Each structure stands twice: as structure tokens, then as C-alpha cells.
Amino acid sequence: MASPIRGHPYSRLGSLTALVLGAIDRPTQWTRAADDAIVGYGRGGVAIVRSEGSPGMRVLVTGGTGYLGSHIVGALWREGHDVRVLARSPERVAPALAPFGIDAAEVEATVGDVLDRASMDAAVDGVDAMVNVANVYSLDIRDAERMHRVNRTGTEVALTAAVERGLSPIVHVSSYVALLPSSVPLTSASPTGNPEGAYLASKADSERIAFRLRKQGAPVVVTNPGALFGPYDPHGGGSTRFIRDRLVGRTAFSAPGSVPAVDVRDVARAHIRLVAYGTDQARFLMMGRRLALVERDAILRRVTGRRLPAVPVPKAAMPSAGRVADALQRRGIDLGFSSMGTYTALQEPPVDDRDTQEALGVRWRPLEDTCADMVAWLHAAGRIKAKQAGALAGHVPAVT
């Protein structure tokens, strides 16, 4: 049995987080190692290091079966915290957490909905802190009413329940899109914006609720992740489609614009640090760096060894293309983008999250590593063929 590696970039003394130790396919089993940690071989060929013996908190995670939410649950659990997951569909808990070596019985799953105050009151009972990740992410205009209801009303219900129960900290996960549009660089001091599009507007509205509660004295802190990339996305959301569609040839065009891109595993780790850090700072940007759409293609060519030819799209054509995509969405035809997507890509203020990295002691890994792991996972999960994964077919991506 290998001992945890001191000085590993994704570990800290006395409380190690997970790292890949080798491709081993066996049921989860745990063996004690050094530094108050236990090592377990998880499903999918990864080995997990979980800290033990350090004081932990009991943390509620809403949206814990989603992309970022499941990574946050995994990171909390590895750090020795007790985790409660609020889930509308309890059958989703086990498959969402299995990649992290977590058996569903090792976390507490409570059935409920952020729109239902009674279930939220039950969910916050007996926990110390909350990370509110629950939201509907969609660039489909047909989901506008549902996004408004869950992202705005659900945020108010969830945060109010946590505030009244005295939880601290209460971390609300917003998005970089809530700060748009902006003619100046985005920083932790940036105000909430007034962006176009149902999803973007719903995220801006939700963080206004969070800041209103904070102004009233509640220990609420807001995070603004960039576009999330990386492996282990339980439901194949927007960023996963953004990469997969390019690899399978569904979006064989090269468009202008960019998004602030960051690895989902690094953002999860930052949230764990934030739970311990407290609430002195109101907003934490977790945006990584800008990833141009043409650079995405260049990275995918390098990591897969494929040619991936693309048809260039002029910038002037993008708004019109977005409106056409919206019209087709209303008829049930999804082109893989929309006016919300084109609007977001063309909003390109610089981003500066150095204060977050300094305060929480995190660093964002290179996007080339992130994309390589994402492609490897897509193949391992059966979502692309070996030919489409290219040189990364058969690789096992790290869970952290």
C-alpha cells in the first residue's frame, strides 16, 4: 500500500485530498496510512485518500448530484466532513458520487426541493454550514420559467432557511455570468450585472438575494465560478456538451469569443477551503483564465492528436446565428448553441481572481490538463468512441 505523498500539489499536511495512484478495479476498501489518512481503492480505477481524525463539520450541499455539487460533496467527504445531500431524486445520489469512491450510504441523502420551505427546514436542521449549488443551467429559451423559479425563488427559500437556522458559513454558488455585461475587469469588488438571457438574469437575481441577506448580517458569501470543465459530469451538462459536440463533429465551426474557464475539481477544492475560511470577504471569483473558442480547438487537437477541421464563423454573424438557433429550439431542434450562448461568448471583460487564490491557497491547473482529463473521461464513460478520443482513449482521469 502506497503512503500519501507529502508536498503533493493537491494535498495539505494532516488532511490529504484524493490523488490517482493507479488503475485498480476492485470494490471500495479502506486501509489506514500515514498522516491520519485512510487510503481506499474506488470504482473506476482510482485510489482515494481520505483524511481522518481532523475536526470536521456537518455540511449540507444542495444540488449535490450535479456537476459542481457532486465534486464538492466528494471534496468535503475526503476532508473528513459529514455531508448531507439535498436531492429531489434520491436514486441519483449513488451514481453521482460513485466516481469519487463514495458509497451512497456514506453520506446522508435527504429528499427535498429548494422550492419547498418545509423540506428545506428539515434539510438545514442539525448541520453547521451549507453550500447552495442547486440551480437549473440551460441555454434553451424554453427553460426560462423553470430557471426563474428554481434559480431565483429556490435560492431565496434555501438561503432564508439556512439563515434562520443559524448556519455559518452559507455559501451561495453564483456564476461569472451574473457580473455581465462589464466594460472593466471582473474582480471580487465587481457589482452584480444586468445580463441578457433567462439563465444569466436568473443568476444575477439569485445573488442579489444572497447579498441582501448578507447586508442584514447573515454569514452569506457568494462565489462566481467561470465555465466549468473537467471529468465526471453526472448529467452531461453544457460544458461537457461543448467539448463532446466538437469531438463528434456536431459543431464543426470555429467562432470568435471566449469564456473564463476553470477546472471543476479546483473549484470544488476552493469551496472546501471557503467553508473553513469564513465569511469576511463577500465575493470570491473562481474564474481561471479566458479560453477563446478557437483555442479550445487547438487544445483538443494537441491532446487527442486529431485534425478537427473547422469552418470559421465571422463575429458579425454570431447574434443572427443565435436568434436562428432560438427559433429552431422552439420547434424542438437543438443546434447546440443559442442567443444566450453567443451573447455570453462575446462579453469578454478580463478576469482577475488572484485574491481568491491567495486567500484560499488554491491554484488553477493548466486548461490543457483539464481538457485532456475531460476527453479521457468522456471515452471511459462511453460518451465518445476511441477514435474520437484519439491519443487519450484508455486513460484514467484523476478525481481531484
Beta strands (DSSP E) in 233-316 are: 253-254, 258-263, 283-286, 289-292, 311-312
Long-range Cβ contacts of 43-47 (<8 Å, 24+ apart): 43/98, 43/99, 43/101, 44/98, 44/99, 44/380, 44/396, 45/396, 46/18, 46/20, 46/21, 46/99, 46/101, 46/396, 46/398, 46/399, 47/2, 47/18, 47/19, 47/20, 47/21, 47/22
For residue 34, the 8-state DSSP code is S
Residues 159-183 have pLDDT tens digits of 999 999 999 999 999 999 999 999 9
Residue 264 belongs to some domain of the structure: yes
Beta pairing class for 47-51 and 37-41: antiparallel
Whether 74 maps to a domain, the answer reads: yes
| Residue 386 placed within a domain | no
CATH number, domain with residue 149: 3.40.50.720
Structural domain tally of the chain? 1
- pLDDT for residue 251: 87
Chain-centroid distance, C-alpha 276: 19
Q: Which domain holds residue 128?
A: 56-234+260-291+348-365
**CA 331 to CA 340: how far, in whole Å?**
17
CB atoms within 10 A of CB 13: 8
The segments of the chain whose pLDDT lies below 70 read: 1-55, 279
Q: How high is the pLDDT of residue 50?
A: 52
Helix axes 198-215, 155-165, angle to 10 degrees: 20
What is the C-alpha to C-alpha distance for residues 234 and 71, in angstroms, rounded to an integer?
A: 10
Question: Taking a C-beta distance cutoff of 8 angstroms, is the pair 78, 10 a contact?
Answer: no
In a domain? residue 216: yes
pLDDT, residue 6, reads 24
pLDDT at residue 23 in the model: 31
Count other Cβ atoms within 10 Å, centred on residue 177.
Answer: 26
Q: Is residue 31 part of a domain?
A: no
Cβ neighbors of 312 (< 8 A, separation 6 or more) are 253, 254, 255
Predicted pLDDT at 55: 58
pLDDT in tens, 85-141: 999 998 999 999 999 999 989 999 999 999 999 999 999 999 999 999 999 988 788
Give a yes or no: residue 9 inside a domain: no
> Looking at the domain assignment, is residue 374 inside a domain?
no
Q: What is the pTM of this model?
A: 0.86
Kindly state whether residue 320 falls inside one of the protein's structural domains: no
Grid cell locating 123: 434539510
Given a contact cutoff of 8 angstroms between Cβ atoms, the answer to whether 99 and 43 are in contact is: yes
Scanning the structure block, which residue is given the C-alpha cell 453550500? 131
